[in-house]
Amino acid sequence: MSARFAIGIDLGTTHSALACAPLEGEGAVVTVVGIEQLVAAGATATRELLPSFVYFAHESEAALALPWDDSRRFAVGEYARSRGAEVPQRVIASAKSWLSYGGVDRRLGSLPLNAPADVEKISPVEASFRYLDHLNEAFRAARPADGDLAEQEVILTVPASFDAGARDLTVEAAMAAGFENVTLLEEPQAALYAWIESNGDGWREHLRAGDRVLVVDIGGGTTDFSLIDAREADGSLELHRVAVGDHILLGGDNMDLALAHVVAQELTLQGKELDRFQVSALGHACRSAKEKLLGNSELDQVAVVLPSRGSQLLGGALRGELRRGQVEQYLLEGFFPQVAASERPKVRPRAGLTQAGLPYASDPAITKHLAAFLAAHSAKSGESSAQPTAVLFNGGVLKSPLLRTRLLETLNAWLAEAGAAPVRVLPGEDLDLAVARGAAYYGLVRHGRGLRIRGGTAHAYYVGIESPMPALPGFEPPILALCVAPFGMEEGSHAALPPQELSVVVGEPVLFRFFSSTTRRNDPAGNVLEHWRPGELAELPPIELTLPPAGRSVGEVVPVQLQASVTAIGTLKLEALALTPLVPDERWQVELSVRHGAGAGG
Amino acid sequence: MTVSNMPLLQRLWFSWLFGLRVLFDGRLASRAHALLEAGGDADALPAPVALERSVVPASPVGSEQTTNGGLQLLSLLQREGRFVDFVQQDITSFSDADVGAAARVVHEGCQRALRSHARVRSVRDEAEGARVTLERAADDVKLVGNVAGAAPFRGVLRHRGWRVEALKLPTVVGSPDLTVVAPAELELS
């Protein structure tokens, strides 16, 4: 059966969303599909967003039934999120951040982190699969005539900063959900597509050749930057994504948490003790107090009330308040300080072996991360300006006019200093749903109905090779970085074959160190780096190659060359080609997201 | 006009709005009282608001279903806004500051629940206190004061009225005991 819809899926760290556009017919009609989900024990409701949480029922509980499954033992969505405050050890949150974190085996059942023994832990990949599977079930329930998402053209968004391994794992989760026709799209690009879609043909009046659009996407858990250039080619406008930022685990949740701590501290000073439930309730109360203060400049303070947990509402309630001064101090000055363009985020050295945890950004100042991003990508490319000329905001955090204004003022101050004009703001709509909408619209673009943003891969990739020098006790041999995949490879293209040979032992898994860079844009495949600036290359989890003994004897050393290509899905593929093939075109796939230990994973 | 039993769900909403109006409108209260005394000639009262349950899959609407709707609504208001806790508690001995603090919790939560499950808008768009001309008598406008003569009616808008334009309650799944609008909580340590 051929696909009838382009389906855009925003698989977010804190929320997911689903949008749909018919492939037949005139014009782009993108609609957001409501997602039925459990909102309380025994009750479902349809919401535009699916909170990205999984809850595992205890045996004492009744089944977490859904209209399409009356014996389910886990829940995804709003009820799962609300159980997170009550039974945190049985709830998975932020699976997407774990998916992009090479410090754990992402196919190994590791979540929820501190689950009790009766919970069968699942991997970050499987958690992502559960979200996708729920979206599929909800789609079938909402639109029974339209079949299954597996039959449609699915566009799945990923942060632009996701490396090749995390992208692979996202596709793996989609395949597990039965989506065979899936394409990846970077979230900031999706936001720009949504902007184009919502402006109809009028968008061309807002963007001209020579423009450079900065997309700032601040979601619940991550911050993502991209630069997209508008260029003239053969008399028509082309859009090129020229740069993406590094993966920054910093978002709206951190901001709510910071405010909750401020209020909790005040309550503690008044001699009031908060338990875990009240701290969690405080987070929610502070979020809504923050939104009121940010949305209404006339308010000076908002009461934050923590009701008692018992059935007697009055009497045991704790009352605190959030003041405008605190929001400005902790949100504006903490997360969006007006810094000089030369400021850089503080890097805190990791303290040895810490408990398993996500590598949260150690500097909360988003403006410093932005300054670093712009400085790393301020090269002039062709006719495009070196500095951004327009900005598109995306993500729930930037619904606040106060935060948008602060970002804009900071950015414009940098531009003025550099002698550049202030940026224009491209008015985005519905910052929570734009990514899903833009992804569905991109499905139409792939059928020639709209302008495509070009750009190719957002990273250059390198394999670490040991430099030939004698082993010295106490010294690690210096490592060289061999470029195997240059920056900007288009879908369906192959990189040149690097001339360097690597030796692989037949029958034994061989690990190579693996690096990526978002800033080295001109290294061709085969380039060998002996030195690089700090921060220029990021080390990823190692990659693994195992040569099957077919036709060769175990233990034999086989020289290979590594060739990169980009699949139609948008994932990186790395293959080893035998220099002395036994059969024509003999090649083996290199595993990008390696399993740690045999037999692990799910 | 024959009048069937109003479903409980609608009755709950109606009793809520109606209760307030009885409280503040002596004339309506005496009419309602008269109606009760007379054994309930329903035709004397305005027709109930038509409610839409748009996302709920088609299912037979029987009396059990609508009882469930009422219980679900209570459960929803309790879950989001501690509504049952608030109404069940004797608040006479508490200070206005305590009641105010609790009211914020109830208000915020019930508002969230109402906004995500119902679309409520005013019956009339004019500002309260504005002079309004009503071309003909209407079910959604109640005349008060010196009520006499024929349409058009000219007067001052005292209350804009409320109309529930859409109501989507959560769908019941499995076979939960809906009479438990809030389960007891037992914290294990």
Residues above pLDDT 70, as percent of chain B: 65
| Cβ separation A42–B105 shorter than 8 A | no
The verdict on residue A378 lying in a domain is yes
Q: pLDDT tier at B35 (50, 70, 90 boundaries)?
A: low
Residues of chain A neighbouring B106 (CB-CB closer than 8 A):
313
Residues A269 and A143 in one domain: no
SS (H, E, C) A471-491: CECCECCCEEEEEEECCCCCC
pLDDT in the model for residue A133: 97
Residues A225 and A325 in one domain: no
Residues A161 and A231 in one domain: no
How close does chain B come to A88, measured CA to CA in Å? 13
| Cβ separation B102–A317 shorter than 8 A | yes
Residues of chain B neighbouring A312 (CB-CB closer than 8 A):
85, 89
The verdict on residue A199 lying in a domain is no
pLDDT in the model for residue A52: 95
pLDDT in the model for residue A546: 86
How close does chain B come to A80, measured CA to CA in Å? 15
The verdict on residue B181 lying in a domain is no
Residues A345 and A494 in one domain: no
pLDDT in the model for residue A48: 95
* 3-class DSSP assignment, residue A92: strand
Dihedral, A142, A145, A151, A154 alpha carbons, nearest 10: -40
pLDDT, one tens digit per residue, over B121-135 is 999 999 999 999 999
Q: How far apart are CA A296 and CA A287, in angstroms?
A: 14
The verdict on residue A225 lying in a domain is yes
| Averaged pLDDT, B34-50 | 44
pLDDT in the model for residue A347: 74
Q: How far apart are CA A24 and CA A22, in angstroms?
A: 5
Residues of chain A with pLDDT under 50: 350-355, 597-602
pLDDT in the model for residue B47: 38
pLDDT in the model for residue A155: 96
ipTM above 0.90, yes or no: no
- Which H or E element spans position A382? none
Work out how many domains chain A is built from and give that number: 4
- DSSP code per residue over A548-590: --TTS-TT-EEEEEEEEEE-TTS-EEEEEEESS-SSTT-EEEE
The verdict on residue A177 lying in a domain is yes
* 3-class DSSP assignment, residue A396: helix
**Per-residue tokens: A82:** 């609300």
Residue of chain A whose Cα is closest to the Cα of B177:
A42
What is the end-to-end Cα distance of chain A in Å, rounded?
30
User: Kindly report the CA angle at B36 between B32 and B41, in degrees rounded to 5?
Assistant: 90
**Per-residue tokens: A47:** 């919401």
Residues A410 and A302 in one domain: no
The verdict on residue B59 lying in a domain is yes
pLDDT in the model for residue B88: 94
Residues in chain B: 189
Q: Is A87 on the interface with B (CB under 8 A)?
A: no
pLDDT in the model for residue A354: 41
* Residue linked to tokens 């009701």: A307
Residues of chain A neighbouring B76 (CB-CB closer than 8 A):
40, 43
Asked if B132 contacts B126 with a C-beta cutoff of 8 angstroms, the reply is: yes
Residues A381 and A297 in one domain: no
User: What sign has the CA pseudo-torsion A61, A67, A71, A72?
Assistant: negative
| Cβ separation B173–A66 shorter than 8 A | yes
Residues A233 and A347 in one domain: yes
CATH of residue A222: 3.30.420.40
Residues of chain B neighbouring A307 (CB-CB closer than 8 A):
82, 85, 102, 105
Substitution target from B89, B114, B171 for chain A, most A beta carbons within 10 A = B171
The verdict on residue A154 lying in a domain is yes
pLDDT in the model for residue B65: 63
pLDDT in the model for residue A353: 40
The verdict on residue B101 lying in a domain is yes
Substitution target from B173, B180, B185, B187 for chain A, most A beta carbons within 10 A = B173
pLDDT in the model for residue A601: 34
| Cβ separation A314–B105 shorter than 8 A | no
Half-sphere exposure of A89 (CA within 13 A, CB side): 11
B108: Cβ contacts below 8 Å, ≥ 6 apart: A288, B81
Asked if A323 contacts A300 with a C-beta cutoff of 8 angstroms, the reply is: yes
The verdict on residue A435 lying in a domain is no
Q: Is A257 on the interface with B (CB under 8 A)?
A: no
Substitution target from B105, B108, B189 for chain A, most A beta carbons within 10 A = B105
DSSP letter, residue B34: H
pLDDT in the model for residue B7: 59
| Cβ separation B102–A70 shorter than 8 A | no
Residues of chain B neighbouring A314 (CB-CB closer than 8 A):
86, 89, 91, 94, 98-99, 101-102
| Cβ separation A309–B185 shorter than 8 A | yes
Residues A239 and A271 in one domain: no
Tell me which residue of A96, A23, A128 sits closest to A440, measured CA to CA: A23
DSSP letter, residue A254: H
Could you tell me which residues of chain B have a Cβ less than 8 Å from any Cβ in chain A? 55, 57, 72, 75-76, 79, 82, 85-86, 88-89, 91, 94, 98-99, 101-102, 104-106, 108, 116-117, 168-176, 178, 182-183, 185
pLDDT in the model for residue B19: 56
The answer to pTM > 0.90 is no
The verdict on residue B176 lying in a domain is no
Asked if A403 contacts A336 with a C-beta cutoff of 8 angstroms, the reply is: yes
pLDDT in the model for residue B63: 62
Give the residue numbers spanning the domain of B114: 8-167
Query: What phi and psi, each to the nearest 5 degrees, are found at residue A230?
Result: -100, 120
| Cβ separation A67–B173 shorter than 8 A | yes
Residues A180 and A267 in one domain: no
Please state the separation of Cα A87 from the chain's center in Å. Answer: 26
| Cβ separation A314–B106 shorter than 8 A | no
Residues A50 and A117 in one domain: yes
Return residues 388-417 of A near B (CB < 8 Å): none
| Cβ separation B82–A313 shorter than 8 A | yes
Return residues 302-331 of A near B (CB < 8 Å): 303, 305, 307, 309, 311-315, 317, 319
The verdict on residue B92 lying in a domain is yes
Q: Is A42 on the interface with B (CB under 8 A)?
A: yes
The verdict on residue A436 lying in a domain is no
- The larger pLDDT score, comparing residue B30 to residue A539, is at A539
Work out how many domains chain B is built from and give that number: 1
Asked if A282 contacts A256 with a C-beta cutoff of 8 angstroms, the reply is: no
- Reply yes or no: is the peptide bond before residue A112 cis, omega within 30 of 0: yes
- The larger pLDDT score, comparing residue B41 to residue B101, is at B101
| Cβ separation B105–A317 shorter than 8 A | yes
Residues A371 and A322 in one domain: no
Q: How far apart are CA A290 and CA A275, in angstroms?
A: 22
pLDDT in the model for residue A20: 95
pLDDT, one tens digit per residue, over B138-181 is 999 999 999 998 989 999 999 999 999 999 899 888 888 999 99
The verdict on residue A598 lying in a domain is no
| Cβ separation A36–B171 shorter than 8 A | yes
Of residues A44, A47, A312, nearest to B171 (C-beta):
A44
What is the end-to-end Cα distance of chain B in Å, rounded?
61
Q: Is A145 on the interface with B (CB under 8 A)?
A: no
Question: CA of A376: how far to CAs of A342, A372, A472, A491, in Å?
Answer: 11, 6, 36, 25
Last residue of a domain, one of A375, A410, A430: A430
The verdict on residue B72 lying in a domain is yes
The verdict on residue B132 lying in a domain is yes
pLDDT, one tens digit per residue, over A523-563 is 999 999 988 888 888 888 888 888 888 888 888 888 888 99
How close does chain A come to B8, measured CA to CA in Å? 19
Give the residue numbers spanning the domain of A260: 252-335
Residues of chain A neighbouring B175 (CB-CB closer than 8 A):
42
User: What sign has the CA pseudo-torsion A423, A426, A428, A431?
Assistant: negative
- DSSP code per residue over A100-153: T-TTS-TTS--BSTT--TTS--B-HHHHHHHHHHHHHHHHHHH-GGG--GGGSE
Residue of chain A whose Cα is closest to the Cα of B99:
A314
Mean pLDDT for chain B?
A: 77
Residues A79 and A16 in one domain: yes
pLDDT in the model for residue A501: 86
The verdict on residue B70 lying in a domain is yes
User: Kindly report the CA angle at A180 between A144 and A442, in degrees rounded to 5?
Assistant: 80
| Cβ separation A45–B116 shorter than 8 A | yes
Residue of chain B whose Cα is closest to the Cα of A41:
B176
Is the pLDDT at B4 greater than 60? The verdict is no
